[in-house]
Amino acid sequence: MTFSKVRSIAALGAILALLLVGCNTTYEMAVDAISNPSITDAESYIIIPRDPETDTNDLRYKETVDYIKTALSGKGLYEALNAEDADMVIEIDYGMEPPRQEYRVVEEPVFATIQHPDTMQQVAQTDPRTGRTIVYNVRVPGRRSKELIGYEERLKSVVVNEKYLELTAKENTITTSSDIPPQEIWSVQVRNFDENNDLREYIPIMAASVTDYVGEDTGSNHNIRLKEKDDVVQFIKKGIVQKPASKADLPTNEG
């Protein structure tokens, strides 16, 4: 095997290792969900931004909405064909807070340099003139290696980027004229606190975190961990979203 082939194989191995590390990234999310037990039959929805000034034609907004629709489909909810037919209006808000500095206790590995003992190795050398072979001992210095001997805690300054995704479902009062505000049906808030500032990377992960908590009540923050290769994350990223439907499209029990 030539040196160039060895170098190519090594490079390929390094790339595969980096891909595996990326796929195994663990995302920690804090989920807080509440629900209104008096309303349990709301299934169809329309999605609107919480901020009325949001550009709904923005590609980032559309991508986020697609992820959310996929997450909601996992709970049996579907998008209404017309706003008037929807059971609920889901307000969404997402973004990233200004970065802030925090001090955290972190565990860092401690390595020690290990000096392995020297070894003796026999070497045979043949004199080309006489053909006589001489065997003699050669001292081979022991190798040095670094080995993990434990962990130590230390205070570390980190820049935290708080990323969030919030969904709030309310009664659809578009066709009614009343001064009474619509009832809230359920709400899910997802937050992540780490050093990563790539919001787009985290949107599908946060949408995946919503899936199990729509219509649920956590009572307080519930911490979960997701990985890129988890089924629910892959489901969200594939974007299996059905076209908008109206109640007339649903099967009935008649006949």
- Segments in the chain forming alpha helices (H): 3-23, 59-73, 199-210, 231-238
Tell me phi and psi for residue 9, to 5 degrees. -65, -40
Domain ranges of the chain: 24-103+159-249, 104-153
Return the pLDDT at 166. 98
DSSP 50: S
Cα–Cα distance measured from residue 30 to residue 196, given in angstroms and rounded to the nearest whole number: 16
Q: Whole-prediction pTM value? A: 0.69
Return the pLDDT at 106. 82
CB 92 within 8 A of CB 167: yes
Exposure pattern of 157-166 as b/e (b: 16+ CB <10 Å)? eeebbebbbb
Return the pLDDT at 244. 55
Cα–Cα distance measured from residue 210 to residue 68, given in angstroms and rounded to the nearest whole number: 8
Q: Which residues of the chain have pLDDT under 50?
A: 1-11, 14, 21, 246-255
Cα–Cα distance measured from residue 46 to residue 60, given in angstroms and rounded to the nearest whole number: 18
Return the pLDDT at 164. 98
Residue 96 DSSP SS3:
strand
Query: Which residues make Cβ contacts (< 8 Å) with residue 133, sequence separation at least 6?
Result: 124, 125, 126, 127
Cα–Cα distance measured from residue 189 to residue 169, given in angstroms and rounded to the nearest whole number: 12
Cα–Cα distance measured from residue 172 to residue 77, given in angstroms and rounded to the nearest whole number: 15
Cα–Cα distance measured from residue 81 to residue 44, given in angstroms and rounded to the nearest whole number: 9
What does the longest C-alpha to C-alpha distance in the chain come to? 114
Instruction: Give the right CATH number for 24-103+159-249 from 3.30.70, 1.10.540, 1.10.3470, 3.30.160.
Output: 3.30.160
Cα–Cα distance measured from residue 208 to residue 50, given in angstroms and rounded to the nearest whole number: 20
Q: What is the pLDDT of residues 156-206, one digit of tens each?
A: 898 999 999 999 999 998 877 777 889 999 999 999 999 999 999 999 999
Residue 181 DSSP SS3:
coil
Cα–Cα distance measured from residue 92 to residue 46, given in angstroms and rounded to the nearest whole number: 11
Say how many C-beta atoms besides its own lie within 10 A of residue 222's C-beta: 15
For the chain, report the end-to-end CA distance as a whole number of angstroms. 74
Residue 8 DSSP SS3:
helix
Query: In which element (H, E) is residue 147 found?
Result: strand 144-171
